[in-house]
Structure 1
Amino acid sequence: MSLLDHLRRRVATEGPLPVTDVMADALTHPRFGYYATRDPFGAAGDFVTAPEVSQMFGELIGLWAAVVWQQMGSPGHVHLVELGPGRGTLMADALRASRPVPGFHAALQVHLVEASRTLREIQERSLSGYASSWHDDVSGLPDGPVIVIANEFFDALPIAQLVRTGAGWHERRLAFDPQTDAPVWTLTPGISPLAALLHPTVLMGARPGEIAEVSPAALSVADLLARRLKRDGGAALVIDYGHGESAAGDTLQAVQAHKSVDVLATLGEADLTAHVDFAALARAVSQGGGLAHGPVTQGAFLSALGIAQRAHGLMAKATPEQARDIEAATVRLIDPGEMGTLFKVAAWTGPAAAPPPGFEA
């Protein structure tokens, strides 16, 4: 049986499936899901994330976490959490860079939120020198002060897609063509209650035929973290590609071998993501009692943390070829034409916390 067979059976018994269900099964189904069956990262995989571009990315985030811990009053116990840790590269670099900070590692308990057993095995090897705990979702994290890192996590959370018609907003769903048995998109006949989650600017401004996206899963995680930060203290750092203001648009995309491919033609064989609505997440954080900082561009954030200085230090000890690689990696991370502008960075804290590094002004 394949993922498509599984989806056909679901449609036959449940009717057309919401995009949320399609994304969830395509990415995280324990038998057929994309992340359950492969290591998708790196040049030999389907995409490259910032921690794989350069060690500087994880190093700067590790030092960011250490400064946040100091701002919290250097508590004797703190949970350092990464959501969707990939290969564990970011966490390994962050821990290595932050080791010299007095008392920080002694206070840390490392937690990784990862649904894929395949990736957990890779993460365990990457972090073999550290005592770490794994969790299926955010709700399983223990109580106490927390510092959360979420790099390219929210973009993979399932979204719902709504299509504007003359009658209102209908939900987009997956069906199968009765003639060809191929997957196709269809619409619910009735108006979707999910339209209540859309921002007024989207509700009022969208024209017939336009698509709007909401992610109940992402909003739920943001709300949970905000309530946690308000209660126990700490901060969350969210790095992802997306838009700073809520807007209509179809951003669901599939990536395979570093190229965009057709979503329906590659279900289970390609990465599925959607642009993150940072404004919607900020509203959820605020409603949960937290404080949202940013977003700022990734280029501005990494520059404020000193990536140029770190690159200069690494290049001073490097061979000419290594120095060229370090320079190219820096450009890729911060240049507006690369990852510097498309990727945004937001921080969430409790209502009384000081602004974290990179968000002071």
Structure 2
Amino acid sequence: MSGGDDTSAIPVRLEDFAGPARRALDPEVWDFVAGGSGEELTMAANRSALDRIRLVPRVLSGTGACDTSAELPGGRAALPVAVAPMAYQRLLHPEGELATARAAAAAGVPFTLSTLSSVPVEEVTALGGVTWFQLYCQRDPEATAALVRRAEEAGCAALMVTVDVPVMGRRLRDLRNGFALPPGVAAAHLDPAGARRAAERRAGTCAVAEHTAESFARALGWDELARLRDLTGLPLIVKGILDPGDAAIAASVGADAVVVSNHGGRQLDGAVASADMLPAVREAVPPSCRLLLDSGIRGGTDVLKALALGADGVLLGRPVLWGLAADGEDGVARVLGLLEAELRSALELSGCATPAEAPWLTALGAGR
């Protein structure tokens, strides 16, 4: 489905939530959520890559009821899925990240809270679910260390550092719209003065991009990742890797998990699809390093494809925001419930009793 048009009054697939979400949001907010960078070639490639993959199911496997649970960083989850880190969720619903986190907790999956969350980490972890904290390293190393300590003290189960945003990609929809945050929505973990600047609208600019350019470290190297590893005892997840060599270095520095991701097509336009790099990255890192796929997941069969290609799990992004915009916590709960039903069906039809058996499947078409 393209453009979020409804095909049914009752959602029967994740993309059925896109239409109601688009109708619920101001056009500029929809563009902020839905858009990619440049001509959005990489965003389209993410879907093309997953659509191209074909699985060879196994039969007479003796599989009965499937167990969808899986081991992820920080513990076992009901699905091999975590909610991806996504900024400023109060743009979509007044409860923002709180609504999403409650739905994730009820579904038994980790919720990843962004550095650019519109709700403080302490309020999210107080809900009792499994929370991972996504970190953008700051220009001031002490500010970075303070964010790590804050996440630890709040009770986060893992730390996810994003490494593919030296600067924010040129997101043409936001530039055309002169996108800025409305009153009442701000980055809860960053300098309030910068948040005020992020609310300034100027033609041909994106205030959010200008704010992050002021705040984020632009010249990160592997030594910074090593220092971050020394700074925390939490499981360390490195998000935003596509090159197998980079994945191998991340594992050698001490990453507990790597997220193969092109940021949902929102950074370098023309970058390779995440799914196409998954097999090579799996070969490059040791089995002890867990592998997650991000960018383009739209259903349970996509999750199974990722598992068959060597991932331990996936991050689910935009569909969660569609559910949030459409119906708050209940909308996110329905998105995650549909994903669980789709994955359970896909596992059973492929002859897999658990997600751990998916690598036995033959997957054709990846990396072409």
Give the TM-score normalised by the residue count of structure 2.
0.28
Answer 1 or 2: higher relative contact order, Cα 8 Å, separation at least 6: 2
Largest Rg, 1 or 2: 1
More helix by share: 2
**Which structure has more strand as a fraction of its residues?**
1
